[in-house]
Each structure stands twice: as structure tokens, then as C-alpha cells.
Homo-oligomer: A and B are copies of this chain.
Amino acid sequence: MNDKPSVIRETDEDARKQARGLMHDAAHAALAVIDPETGFPSVSRVLIAIDADGAPVILVSGLSSHTKSLIKDPRASALFGEPGKGDPLAHPRLTVRCSAERIDRQGQAHERIRGLFLDRHPKSKLYIDFPDFCFFRLVPLDASLNGGFGRAYILSAADLMIL
């Protein structure tokens, strides 16, 4: 995402707000990872909460293939934004390139993330403490915002985070 063709607009405060809003409003996202066995990308649906610094957080089962992939290769991408009614491409969406950090269950961050995830997804209490489930922080590297036809922006990690 280093090249900036002329269709990319200059990032402004409206674009930053829209991008953060898409992440913060999202209950779920499409998460892309790399399957270490085949090298293929693989995309699946995950529940999303947002950590104190603005990084998305996911709760995943160790039995699922996306978890096995992230443990071997932290490179990931997450798509935020609902398609809504009418033309799906008329609705804004955000692709965040991110590096996945597994959260140690014994570490300091776990309790904070467990709390905010439960606040966002109360039904997750049914499985949040299962031994095969774990959290990952999806630490943003940069992002591509498509605010609707002709409204494309490249954003930095700092544009997305709460500083």
C-alpha cells in the first residue's frame, strides 16, 4: 500500500473519524489469515471488540483453522463495515492490515481484554473461559478506507488508534 495512485484522496480528519467509527461500531469482521499448509489466504468471520488503545481484539477457538494459522504466521487483514441495504459497494468499509499478538492468559492484558470483550459480547461468557479459547490483539499497521464510490484513502496506524 505504498503506491498512491491518483484515486487516493488526501487523508483528513473526516476520513480518520469514519475509519475509527467503522472499527468501533463493528460487532464482527472478516478476518483474513495465511494458511501455513497451503500458503493460501483464508477468510472467516470473527467477533470484534476494541482495546483501550483502539486495536481490535478477537476471541478464537484453538480448534479453528484461523487460530492455527495466526499462531504460525501473525500477518492478518480485517474487513470492517456492514454492506447495508442496496448496492453493497455504496457503503463504507475499511481494510486494516495488522499483526496478530496472542494474549497470554496469565498476563496483565488478559483481564482487561476479557472485560471489554464481555461488555461488547455478553453471550461470549458461555465460552470465553474455555481452555482452548484465546484472545489476539490485531495491531494495526495501516489501512485502506473505501468511503463509497470514489472516496478512497490510505490511513496509517496512528490514524486508527486512540492516542
With A34-B34, A39-B75, A75-B39 given, is the CB distance from A83 to B45 under 8 Å?
yes
The answer on a CB contact under 8 Å between B33 and A41 is yes
Interface string of A57-101 (1 = CB under 8 A from B): 000000101000000000111110101000111000101010000
Are the C-beta atoms of B75 and A40 separated by less than 8 Å?
A: yes
Number of chain copies forming the complex: 2
Q: Are B79 and A44 in contact (CB under 8 A)?
A: yes
Q: Which residue of B lies closest to A5 (CB)?
A: B63
Known contacts A83-B28, A89-B47; A42/B2 CB under 8 A: no
Contacts of A7 in B (CB 8 A): 63
Partner of A43, one of B1, B39, B79: B79
Given A27-B88, A88-B28: A78 and B144 interface contact (C-beta under 8 Å): no
Contact B40 A97 (CB under 8 A): yes
Cβ B1 vs Cβ A45 within 8 A: no
- Give CA–CA (A36, B135) in the complex, Å: 28
Question: Does A37 reach chain B (CB closer than 8 Å)?
Answer: yes
